[in-house]
Amino acid sequence: MIRSMTGFARREQSGPWGTLTWELRAVNHRYLEVGCRLPEELRSAEGEFRQAISTALRRGRVDCTLNYRPSTAAQGPVEIDQALVTQLLARAREIAALAGQAVAINPLDVLRWPGVVQDQGSDLSPLLAAAQSSLGEALKLLAESRAREGDRIRDLLLSDRASHQAVKRKASLDVPGRLLKISSGLRIHVGFEGDEAELRRRLREPNAQRLW
């Protein structure tokens, strides 16, 4: 069986934590090369994901993307470190005073500051388990996709082989007719009146070109 290294698979799984979607794209490559794009919540599990991929695949360049869309319930309330926000605003006003100009502060920029939005320490184990399970299913789908591509390549090769054999058979059937035409043309050209065997014998002689 021919197995292609080219394939695509997509697997989506939903739960109380939200929705996970794996997308795997594979192309030909001499060795196994894996690229992973993961959400921040599951970045620490990249090594486990790579291990699962290398166990299932041997060759090819494989780009793996995991998208995570948390549910409203999983997100929970947003907790702000008010003391840190107060310090940031105070420092921003001090800098504005030193610069001698008013500075507009974007609240969204303040929220992006590390540590402003507090981590609630939610349990990510159900999310990780779901990601591992859906990755296994996506790898099975990728194997099936590669097998289908291999079947397509096999069919193309068999079709080409059949075409070449047909051309070869046709050419072999045409050989006697072509030889007869060549022989007739040669007889006319050199004025040879002998039989076919004599013509072939004389053509095989080293100095055949001098016989005419």
| pLDDT 10s digits, 150-173 | 777 776 777 767 676 666 666 665
Query: How confident is the model over 45-104, as pLDDT tens digits?
Result: 999 999 999 999 988 899 999 999 988 765 566 678 888 888 888 888 888 888 887 777
Query: How confident is the model over 114-146, as pLDDT tens digits?
Result: 788 766 556 788 999 999 999 999 999 998 888
Tell me, what's the pLDDT at 136? 95
* Residue 8 and residue 148 in contact, taking contact as beta carbons nearer than 8 Å: no
Tell me, what's the pLDDT at 212? 45
Of 25, 23, 2, nearest to 11 by C-alpha is: 23
* Residue 96 and residue 85 in contact, taking contact as beta carbons nearer than 8 Å: no
pTM over 0.85, yes/no: no
Beta bridge mates, 64: 24, 36
With tokens 């990728």, the residue in question is: 142
Of 17, 26, 21, 43, nearest to 137 by C-alpha is: 21
Q: What is the CA radius of gyration of the chain?
A: 37
Say what the alpha-carbon torsion angle 80, 84, 86, 87 is, to the nearest 10 degrees. -170
Find the distance separating the first CA and the last CA of the chain, reported in whole Å. Answer: 60
